[in-house]
Amino acid sequence: MGAMLIFVPAIISGTLLAHILWPDRSFWSVLFKVFLGIGLGLGLRSLLYFLYLLAFPGSNAFIYVEGTALLALLAIAATRELRRPRPDWNHALPSKPTRIQGIVLAIGSLVCILSLLATANYLLRRRQGDWDAWMMYNRAARFIYFDQAHWLGSFSPEMSPIFHADYPLLLASDIVAGWELLGRDSAAVPMVQSALFAIACAGLLGSSLGAVKSLGQAALGITLLWGVPVFVNEGARQMADVPLAFFILATGVLFFLYATNRQRGLLVLAGIAVGLGAWTKNEGTVLVVGAVASVLLAFVRRDSWTALLTFAAGLAVPLAVVIYFKLFLAPSGDILLGASGGLAAKLADVSRHTLIIQYLWNEFTAFGSWGIWGISIGILPILAVYYLVFRSSIAQNVRAAYLAGLAMLGIQVVGYYAAYLVSPYDLAWHLSYSSTRIVAQVFPLILFLTLAASREAEQVLTRVPSAIPE
Amino acid sequence: MRILWLQRALLGLIAVASLYASIHNLVSTYALGSIADDPVADWEQRFVPLKERLPFVRGVIGYISDSDVPGVIFNAPNDEGEYILSQYALAPIIIVKGTDQEWNVANLSPEGFKLWSAANAGSYDVQPLGRGLYLLHRLRN
């Protein structure tokens, strides 16, 4: 129980920050901010703990730092709320679901409950996580926690590169913050952290589809996301792929909301999400490139350079921490080390290109297979068919959002391709070990963009399509 | 009208397939083992006596396993996994492969230990810690 409670202040802080930057009061946006707040809160606590360690290692006083941050955010949010007119709750609450919406919601809820139970089962049977968890994230957390006063030794060049001491510290630093608050190292902290990111990812997808489409589309989104076993299990493995998927999804959705609302706070939040993505995994660096390119392509022409500056305001602090970590603490990464040796030969090696394309194609066709009737068709071809059958016209004001989302996805895939191309490892092994997980990182955003561009589920299922409430 | 039925059929397929996959996945998680089992914690427990006997709480120690002993048959993925688990268990002490450090840990099968000790007699003070684990203290020549 204690391991759950220690996450509450961070989640409240994240939600408050999201509300301060985007003070919309509608039901779906409040729900969206709660799920966004989970990831933002955990990520920002990780950053804060890292900075605290740099300044006061071994002082065991983080509870005061986190408490102060929470109180400050609470005071700002309360002051701003008091100055605003009283909310019209009738407008803020969603309309009563129709019968069809109720059925779609019931199916989504059932899938959600089954997948939550599967997540709990997985976590309880793999208390310390899977291979990468105890090789990288939980190992790094133990190094920092067990010898806080000398925590910089965690990045010693003497440690084998196999342990990836160069990896950003979002998960590890957040785990240590949790252990410090709890007063002991407990496997329950990374377990809860893993579950929280999985829940936040599903909740963020559902609430954002609810905000931009309908209740039925929100339930369908959750059904599709958590009806895919490989994604559900990934969320219980205590690894960084689902947290990164969360930040990629959050960035895409915030761009989407900004395209329609033009509220600058949404771009600041997108910048924070991108920075936290870079603080989660090395692949997050590609997200920075993709997101900056997306802002330039989609919003600068429309809204002038202030769009980029606003986005940069959110990105600045997390990215500065990542750059500091990479420049002054982290040893050289395996991919970069590998890239420096025989780069030209690798780039020109046709067999490497062929193997990468073959693996990526296999992932496209088989990732997220439901595994029924012996058919191994994955979720992505099904989504492609779904889009062709359900596609709706895209309004002028959201075209920039799709451009931003697709540019981000495209650059992310190019980044993965380049990393494989220069990989120092046996390429077949590297691909087989990680290709499913990299698809998991972009799957929620692909799902969001597909469902946002499609007709609502309830519109198709209702006898009189025009009678559906929005 | 045909497209409407196609859309409805696709939604029905998604609902049935997602429910089936969720139930199947939930059932399959039971095959991961018992809740009472925690092999990583067991592995960590194995290293408790070693940590107690080391004269420092941070620093670098060497590590060898069956893969470092010529002539011993070993399972490469298991050997790699045990190396990683050992680093996890020994944190914040850093382990590096080989026995060049003053203090080293040997994680060896009975055959591996037999062959290794025959080749390294007199070079190390060997403290058996049980379950295939040995603390090796390099002797000064």
State which amino acid sits at residue A283: E
Question: What six digits make up the tokens of B118?
Answer: 């025959």
H or E element at residue B138: strand B133-138
Give the closest of B7, B22, B81 to A460, CB-based: B7
Work out the pLDDT band at B37, boundaries 50, 70, 90.
confident
Residue owning tokens 């309830």: A458
CA distance A379 to chain B (A): 10
| Cross-strand bridge partners of residue B65 | B107
Does the structure show a pLDDT above 50 at A298?
yes
Question: What six digits make up the tokens of A159?
Answer: 């440690």
- Candidates A128, A132, A376: best to mutate against B (most CBs of B within 10 A) is A128
Please list every residue in chain A whose beta carbon sits closer than 8 Å to the beta carbon of residue B8.
460-461
A147 touches chain B (CB under 8 A): yes
CA distance A283 to chain B (A): 23
- Candidates A110, A113, A121, A228: best to mutate against B (most CBs of B within 10 A) is A121
ipTM of the complex: 0.91
Angle (CA) B82-A241-A324 rounded to 5° is 90
State which amino acid sits at residue B121: A
- Give the residue-averaged pLDDT of B109-116: 95
- Candidates A370, A372, A388, A432: best to mutate against B (most CBs of B within 10 A) is A370
B36 vs B29: which has the higher pLDDT: B29
Distance CA A77, CA A394 (A): 35
Question: What six digits make up the tokens of B51?
Answer: 């940590």
Looking at chain A, the whole-number percentage of residues with pLDDT higher than 70 is 96
A125 touches chain B (CB under 8 A): yes
A466 vs B57: which has the higher pLDDT: B57
HEC letters along chain A: CHHHHCCHHHHHHHHHHHHHHCCCCCHHHHHHHHHHHHHHHHHHHHHHHHHHHHHCCCCCCHHHHHHHHHHHHHHHHHHHHHHCCCCCHHHHCCCCCCHHHHHHHHHHHHHHHHHHHHHHHHHHHCCCCCHHHHHHHHHHHHHHHHCHHHHHHHHCCCCCHHHCCCCCCHHHHHHHHHHHHHCCCCCHHHHHHHHHHHHHHHHHHHHHHHHHCCHHHHHHHHHHHHCCHHHHHHCCCCCCHHHHHHHHHHHHHHHHHHHHHCCHHHHHHHHHHHHHHHHHCCCHHHHHHHHHHHHHHHHHHHHCCHHHHHHHHHHHHHHHHHHHHHHHHCCCCHHHHHHCCCHHHHHHCHHHHHHHHHHHHHHHHHCCCCCCCCCCCCHHHHHHHHHHHHECCCCHHHHHHHHHHHHHHHHHHHHHHHHHHCCCCCHHHHHHHHHHHHHHHHHHHHHHHHHHCECCHHHHHCCCHHHCCC
- Cis-peptide, bond into residue B92, ω within 30° of zero: yes
Angle (CA) A233-A253-A367 rounded to 5° is 35
Work out the pLDDT band at A339, boundaries 50, 70, 90.
low
Please list every residue in chain B whose beta carbon sits closer than 8 Å to the beta carbon of residue A382.
14
Lowest mean pLDDT among A296-300, A310-314, A445-449: A296-300
Does the structure show a pLDDT above 60 at A388?
yes
- pLDDT for the residue A466: 52
The torsion of the CA quartet A423, A429, A430, A436, rounded to 10 degrees, works out to 150
A388 touches chain B (CB under 8 A): no
B48 touches chain A (CB under 8 A): no
Helix axes A27-55, A241-261, angle to 10 degrees: 130
- Tens of pLDDT, residues B58-100: 999 999 999 999 999 999 989 999 999 999 999 999 999 999 9
Counting one residue from chain A and one from chain B, the pairs whose CB atoms sit within 8 A come to 141
CB pair distance less than 8 Å for A118 and B81: no
CB pair distance less than 8 Å for A389 and B3: yes
CB pair distance less than 8 Å for A372 and B91: no
- pLDDT for the residue A465: 53
CB pair distance less than 8 Å for A139 and B87: yes
- Tens of pLDDT, residues A403-412: 999 999 999 9
- pLDDT for the residue A371: 80
Does the structure show a pLDDT above 70 at A422?
yes
- Tens of pLDDT, residues A320-337: 999 999 999 998 776 666
- pLDDT for the residue A469: 47
Does the structure show a pLDDT above 50 at B122?
yes
Lowest mean pLDDT among A129-138, A160-169, A341-350, B38-47: A341-350
CB pair distance less than 8 Å for B58 and A153: yes
Which residue of chain B has the CA closest to A134? B88
CA distance A94 to chain B (A): 24
- Candidates B2, B18, B65: best to mutate against A (most CBs of A within 10 A) is B18
Question: What six digits make up the tokens of A110?
Answer: 């059932």
Does the structure show a pLDDT above 80 at A45?
yes
- Give the residue-averaged pLDDT of A212-229: 96
Please list every residue in chain B whose beta carbon sits closer than 8 Å to the beta carbon of residue A118.
22, 25-26, 29
CB pair distance less than 8 Å for B14 and A117: no
Distance CA A371, CA A373 (A): 7
Does the structure show a pLDDT above 80 at A463?
no
Nearby residues of B72 by Cβ (< 8 Å), 6 or more positions away? B66, B109, B111, B112, B115
- Tens of pLDDT, residues A307-316: 999 999 999 9
Question: What six digits make up the tokens of A160?
Answer: 């084998």
Does the structure show a pLDDT above 80 at A128?
yes
Which residue of chain A has the CA closest to B30? A121
**Is the pTM higher than 0.90?**
yes
- pLDDT for the residue A470: 43
Please list every residue in chain A whose beta carbon sits closer than 8 Å to the beta carbon of residue B87.
135, 139, 159-160, 163
Distance CA A247, CA A270 (A): 9
CB pair distance less than 8 Å for B84 and A158: no
Q: In chain B, how many H helices and how many E strands?
A: 5, 5
Does the structure show a pLDDT above 90 at A464?
no
Cα B57 to the center of its chain, rounded Å: 21
Does the structure show a pLDDT above 50 at A196?
yes
Does the structure show a pLDDT above 90 at A468?
no
Give the closest of A107, A115, A389 to B15, CB-based: A107
- pLDDT for the residue B85: 94
CB proximity under 8 Å: B 6-45 to A? 6-8, 10-11, 14-15, 17-26, 28-30, 32-35, 37-38, 40-41
- pLDDT for the residue A29: 94
- Tens of pLDDT, residues A235-268: 999 999 999 999 999 999 999 999 998 999 999 9
Distance CA A8, CA A52 (A): 19
- Give the residue-averaged pLDDT of A384-413: 92
A220 touches chain B (CB under 8 A): yes
- Other C-beta atoms closer than 10 Å to the C-beta of A108 total 27
CB pair distance less than 8 Å for A131 and B35: no
